[in-house]
Amino acid sequence: MSLDVRRFTVSVTPELDRRLDDLKRSRYWHTTQSEMIRDLISLGLLHFEGYTEETKETATPEVPEA
């Protein structure tokens, strides 16, 4: 990883915090939380970059009800 990184803060809901904790324990136990978040952001960007302008509406994930 490059040493030239930018720090920023993200606020999450308690539900998202729980889901991230579960994911950290089950699939990212061998990495730092920062590395996990970078990976999830990269995966999300790759997902959205795969959609054309015509399909962007279908690319928007539905937010599950609490």
Quote the radius of gyration of the chain (alpha carbons, Å): 14
- Assign 19 to helix, strand or coil: helix
pLDDT band at 66; cut points 50, 70, 90: very low
**pLDDT for 53 beyond 80:** no
The pLDDT, as a whole number, for residue 47 is: 85
Say what the pTM is: 0.67
- Assign 58 to helix, strand or coil: helix
% of residues, the chain, pLDDT over 90: 52
